[in-house]
Structure 1
Amino acid sequence: MIAFSGMYAAWRHVFKLDPDRAISDEALERICLSGTDGILVGGSSGVTFDNTVELLSRIRRYEVPCALELTGADSAVPGFDGYFVPTVLNAGRTDWLVGRQVEALAEYGAFMPWELAASQAYLILNGECTAAKVTEARTQLTADEVLAYALVADRLWRVPVIYMEYSGTYGDMALVRQVRDRLAQARLFYGGGIATPEQARAAAESAHTIVVGNVIYSDLAAALATVDAAKPEACAGDIA
């Protein structure tokens, strides 16, 4: 069995599904059979044990790898291929930097499959998105500050995954590329506003892994078109 770190290190394109948002069986089948490298399950609000279990059971009809963002004790569901434990680097509320992780592990730490777990450092850069409001993230950052946050996570904390989150809007690809080029060991995930093949291709040339989420629920055909656009042969940049 491939290690979780080896699994996500090979991801170029990932679909993100929110347990608190409805998706039909037909749409889910098309997502899971699309050729995407993986499914990431998580959300900023309304995520519960029950709706996470229900979504996982439906995804498990297919062979696509599936990981959970473990944002709290309520969503600690066994059976995923891996678990990302997020921290928000620029959170205004310190419990999103370390407190919620402690809360979850105090209850479930003895049962945590550590070989399937990886730390995930978020940089939330759209102040209007739900994640920014929930975490009270400080989103008005200069490029130098964004790079500094990334270096703290990459060089000092040795976090394996850094996630630049522009949820709801398409981000600054030049800045995303700058961050990626400065990383020594972390893999850079990018998510936010990807709704066309052109946006997917540009994001895939700038980050190691792109995450496509919201467009799934508004335009499934557009979401599916992002898969091929993120493949190496479609990208001019070296994103190995």
Structure 2
Amino acid sequence: MTRHAKHIFKLDPAKEIDDSSLERIVKSGTDLILVSGTDNVTEENVSKLLRRIRQFDVSAALEISHPDAAVPGFNHYFIPTVINTDDVTFSHGMLVEALMEYHDFIDYDSVSLLPYIIMNQNCKAFKHAQCHAVEDEEFIAMIHMLDKLYKMDYIYIEYSGVFGDRDLVAEAYEAAEHANIVYGGGVVSEETARRMDSVSDVMVVGNIIYDDVEQALKTII
């Protein structure tokens, strides 16, 4: 994710995508391909997907969900930190583990923290990261904390699989003075993309790629 990116396609290395669909996604005009997944992400399947992506001229980033799945060759790397987790492992524990092992090899100019606020209580990521539900007041306080105190470049509001509360996302967008608001969840058409486009800096589109490539392509507006 770079500061100019408006649209991102997220590809899961643990999911199957045929060559034709991958080519259409990668050559669609999206600003960035983000390789990211929750379950069964391995060095092998990340490397395989990267090789397929590298057949085309496109920027690609890796979200490092586990240190063992970090592979070279991406333009940028994101290390997720979940803000509403109740388990320190998912806030900074894995980051510390990664730095203990890889500090001497890391180009810090190509690595960024990516703070998540996971809002959909029914999604896999919410349960995997042992999150707690966030009330509106706490949510906005988190936005102010990340934006004004931590001065993060990005804040990822994740609804994962469902279309989120647009009014709440808009409130976060208005509150953020420095950070880019990244939105993910339920963007499955031109209509849903347009609804979130005006209240976020970056939209991430993922699940619909595997259900309907045609609809996924319509999210680029």
Are the counterparts in 2 of residues 42 and 70 from structure 1 also a CA contact under 8 Å? yes
1:31 to 25, 30, 54: 25
2:173 to 174, 177, 180: 180
Q: Secondary structure at the match of 1:226?
A: coil
The answer for the alignment partner of 2:11 in structure 1 is 17
| Aligned positions of 1:47-126 closer than 5 A | 47-126=41-120
Greater Cα shift, 210-219 or 147-156: 147-156
Unaligned runs of 5+ in 1: 1-6, 230-240
Distance 1:88 1:163 in 2: 9
Measure how far apart 1:181 and its partner are. Answer: 1.0
Count how many residue pairs are aligned between Structure 1 and Structure 2: 221
Deviation above 2 Å: which 4+ runs of structure 1? none
1:36-80 deviations in Å (ceiling 9; x for gaps): 111011111111111001101110111111111112211111110
Match of 2:137 in 1: 144
- One-letter amino acid of the structure 1 residue matched with residue 27 of structure 2: L
Query: Which amino acid counterpart does residue 189 of structure 1 have in structure 2?
Result: V
Deviation at 1:174, TM superposition (A): 1.1
Identity of aligned residues (%): 41
- CA distance in 1 between counterparts of 2:179 and 2:73 reads 25
User: Contact (CA 8 Å) 1:72, 1:103: kept in 2 or not?
Assistant: no
> Aligned AA for 1:85?
I
Deviations for 1:105-161, whole angstroms, at most 9, x for unmatched residues? 21112111211111111000001111101111112x221111111111111112211
Deviation of residue 204 (structure 1)? 1.1
What letter corresponds to residue 171 of structure 2 in structure 1? Q
CA-atom RMSD in angstroms: 1.0
| Cα shift readout 1:4-57 (whole Å, capped 9, x = no counterpart) | xxx611111100000110111111000011111110111111111110011011
* TM-score (norm: length of structure 2): 0.97
State the secondary structure of the residue aligned to 1:206.
coil
Secondary structure of the residue aligned to 1:167 is: coil
